[in-house]
Chains A and B, each alone.
Chain A
């Protein structure tokens, strides 16, 4: 089968790999029909996530048709078109039972800080991902969800990560009616987070980014105020000024390790890997939220340390909330929102690219070429 094949930092190709096999009675094999490249895939692509091995296939946002099931699978059947949450979750452990499906304790042997994630290095379990024609899906009774017949596959694939992550970013902000929320980052997750803030009753939503085309998109899509931080001396002072010098009630970091905006953070976090990615957005978030405010973090960072003003977290009495999105917990509500036209996730997809051209797709997304917001890879069998 064809699969994306990681060869080293900023080098990927599509090559033939052996077909995945059922390894466990709760496994399913899924023939992929859509697979997105996620902003967090760029951390892998740039070689920033430890234990990313040459030969691995990335891809944690995918949908597909069930081709084969293990002997203990009863929730899905061969032929079902399913969306597969990016978290690999057993549904039985202490964490899954609390709805923390991103923190499953039975899906990742290599690290305890995170549950298993498809195609996200051995630090997240060593599973091949969905940027391929076929993929092995463990715990098929838990994660895979049959796509409602009236749902557009492009909407469905966005429900595997982007929509739940953006929604949970807003949810973790504990937004009170009328709150001012600042979102750092107008990538797909930031755009979705900005849109979802309104659902929780935000009174004002402000998005900061450095790319005009993305700011323009989120302004129209999420009906929010937008500002380009490249045009400011200091984004923190700017936010203070536009919030009566108080700071925002809630700030969302939807950027993570690839953040621009600080030479020190860029050199130490992205160029020399002396810290686990550039923490510029988180730094700004902590400093621009009001005292007693909430910082919601969904931007992904590496497993080592980052330079952030933790003293200000204490002195301002902040609450930090963060997690990988608990996709399964959120899916019923989010499917409802998509079906009712409250959320329109497929509008974020700007590029539909053949799987065979994955290397070009990564370059376009990474370098923000051709006004790329969200690229989706489509395998040959799904293009017929």
Chain B
């Protein structure tokens, strides 16, 4: 069984070929003995002078685990449509609840369909092949892409035939 030594300079000789070996070593950093060296400043900081509040000019959904909107927030893609309604519902639950996260995942999928509808509404036909990066896949892995297309086609045909047979 291997034995270890704590003699840093002695060990360092074995690693002279690795640039920077041991330069950040801190033998006192032992997280298995997690008694943090406290300065007591930690306990005085539970309230702080808050940064200026960003004006709330878009709808921002707020986790119910906090009392206020954070001083700054992102303004990308505010909730809208059916997905927005689902997201508003999700935010009635805490981050600890499936009632929060599962509706958000559902909303993401609904939002994807909304995105396609919105594209058509604007007269834009989404180029699904380009969006999925199939040009790169064709260039670097044509066999993989061919296999993927064939499997997708086969599954579609089987589903279509099963649906027809039921009628």
Residues of A participating in the B interface, judged by any CB pair closer than 8 Å: 7-13, 23-27, 47, 50-57, 72, 88, 90, 92-94, 97-98, 105-113, 116, 122-123, 125-128, 138-139, 171-172, 174-178, 196, 198-201, 203, 223, 244, 273, 292-294, 302-304, 317, 319, 321, 333, 337, 341-343, 359-364, 366-367, 369-370
B115 touches which of A54, A72, A128 (Cβ 8 Å): A54
Tell me the dominant secondary structure on chain A's binding face. Answer: loop
| B11 engages A50 (CB within 8 Å) | no
| B29 engages A174 (CB within 8 Å) | yes
| A304 engages B132 (CB within 8 Å) | no
Would you give the 0/1 interface string for B106-145, flagging 1 where the beta carbon is closer than 8 Å to chain A? 0111011011100000000011101111111100110010
A174 touches which of B32, B42, B48, B111 (Cβ 8 Å): B32
Q: B45 at the A/B interface (Cβ < 8 Å)?
A: yes
Chain B, interface size: which category?
A: 35 or more
Given contacts A177-B22, A177-B27, contact A54 B61 (CB under 8 A): no
Q: B152 at the A/B interface (Cβ < 8 Å)?
A: no
Given contact pairs A23-B55, A198-B18, A360-B136, a sample of 8 additional A-B residue pairs in the complex whose CB atoms are under 8 Å apart = A11-B126, A13-B130, A50-B105, A92-B48, A94-B46, A126-B74, A198-B22, A342-B23
**CB-defined contacts of B25 to chain A, threshold 8 Å:** 175, 177, 199-201
Given contacts A52-B108, A342-B19, contact A92 B49 (CB under 8 A): yes
Q: Which residue of B lies closest to A105 (CB)?
A: B70
Q: B1 at the A/B interface (Cβ < 8 Å)?
A: yes
Q: Which residue of A lies closest to B75 (CB)?
A: A23
Min CB gap A219→B, angstroms: 13
Would you give the 0/1 interface string for B76-96, flagging 1 where the beta carbon is closer than 8 Å to chain A? 110100010001000100010
